[in-house]
Amino acid sequence: MRWSFPVGKIFGIPIRVHYTFLLLLAFIWYVEASMYGPETGLYSAVFWLLIFVCVLLHELGHSRVAQSYGLTITSIVLLPIGGVSQISDIPKDPIKEVNITIAGPIVNFVIAGILLVLGKFFNSSAEFSKASLQSGNLIVDLFWANLMLGLFNIIPAYPMDGGRILRGILAMKRNYIEATKLAADVGKLFAIGFIVVGFFINWWLILIGIFIFSGATSEAETTVITSTLEKVFVRDLMVTDFKTVQLDEPITVVVEKALHTYQNDFPIVVDGKFVGILTHASVIEALHHHMHEMKVGQIARTVFPRIGPDSTAAEALRKMRLSGVTVAPVEDDGNLLGIITLEKLIEASDLLTSKSDQDEKHEPEKTL
């Protein structure tokens, strides 16, 4: 993820922290210190830092269960709004998904339980009866923070944990796409509720509402796209009829070529071997910076995910999204067979989705 820096590895999972998180800590420290003195400022900064340690433990809860199912966790990123575990591929098995998801809030409840015991037996000044994050007793404040974190996360507002659990439960009885759409709709309703209530209570809720609404929309879309692409193979979608460019060609020549074709990206082939792709975006950027004299080799992208013709289109999409490319070569034993583009994958998914919508409506005369 952009704007984040690595802080180490736990259970083989790279942990990253978003820069804005440091800004948040500094902001809290500054506001509290200038209002209530340096001691309170320090206390608040330490308290929030510890909350984020708990958020990290919550994410590790998800990740450990996911790892036990053989899944890869690419990273855990800590953002001011919470943590994100980037799991290579969330399983479509509802029971596994529910188990992975529920592990996060359970971690918070366990931490709260431990803090309660610690406070009761080892800290006589700990007073748990009043829900507060500002009692001044670190154990009490962290207890309530974890209880709230756990409870907040199980609200069934997809893509929050509770919403994912809801999706998993729904998917036990109906198909995965339908379950996702339904959970996303419930999530959007909650999001609107948060935004409205937030206006009267706390602006933080508005932010969370916006986050949930956009998350529900985009995750539901992604799920529909990947589910439809699960049944299609790269060899059926790759483009095999394409023009190539040479490493030493000036980009102005390429622009000329691009004007005469639908093609946006140009593979570079040397002695029959694929060596890189000149993307539409990099040409535009070079032209924008008045670098007309540039040669193809100077701006070509040379690192790509490995995609074989027998991979599913969903797998290709996943790999392309992970490495942030919009076009990738399709290779078999190092030989370039064709190229696959993000545009083509999304187009195929659109066609397949509307086809299955039509099939569901039993109107065969309208098939594509």
The count of residues interacting with Zn ion (CB under 5 A) is 2
CB of 2 to Zn ion, least distance (A): 22
**Nearer to Zn ion (CB atom), residue 38 or residue 113:** 113
**Nearer to Zn ion (CB atom), residue 84 or residue 342:** 84
Where does this chain touch Zn ion (CB under 5 A) — which range of 28-36, 99-107, 138-146, 253-261? 99-107
CB of 210 to Zn ion, least distance (A): 19
- Helical H runs in the chain? 19-36, 38-68, 94-122, 138-153, 161-171, 176-200, 203-229, 234-237, 251-259, 280-288, 296-299, 313-323, 342-360
**Nearer to Zn ion (CB atom), residue 156 or residue 276:** 156
CB of 245 to Zn ion, least distance (A): 46
CA nearest to 324, candidates 279, 271, 258, 261: 279
Among positions 249-308, residues that touch Zn ion (CB under 5 A) are: none
CB of 74 to Zn ion, least distance (A): 16
**Nearer to Zn ion (CB atom), residue 41 or residue 104:** 104
List the catalytic residue out of 32, 39, 59, 221: 59
| Residue type at position 12 | G
**Nearer to Zn ion (CB atom), residue 104 or residue 276:** 104
Where does this chain touch Zn ion (CB under 5 A) — which range of 98-106, 243-251, 322-330, 354-362? 98-106
Among positions 157-176, residues that touch Zn ion (CB under 5 A) are: 161
CA distance 21 to 258: 43
What's the length of the chain?
368
Instruction: Identify whether 256 is a catalytic site residue.
Output: no
Q: Which x/- pattern, by CB under 5 A, does the window 102-121 give for Zn ion?
A: --x-----------------
Among positions 297-356, residues that touch Zn ion (CB under 5 A) are: none
| Residue type at position 334 | G
Among positions 191-230, residues that touch Zn ion (CB under 5 A) are: none
Burial class (CB in 10 A: 0-12, 13-18, 19+), 363: exposed
Question: Which residues sit opposite 332 in a β-bridge?
Answer: 335
CA nearest to 50, candidates 141, 182, 124: 141
| DSSP string covering 290-317 | T-TT-BHHHH-B-----B-TTSBHHHHH
Interacting residues with Zn ion (CB under 5 A): 104, 161
Q: Which residues are catalytic?
A: 59
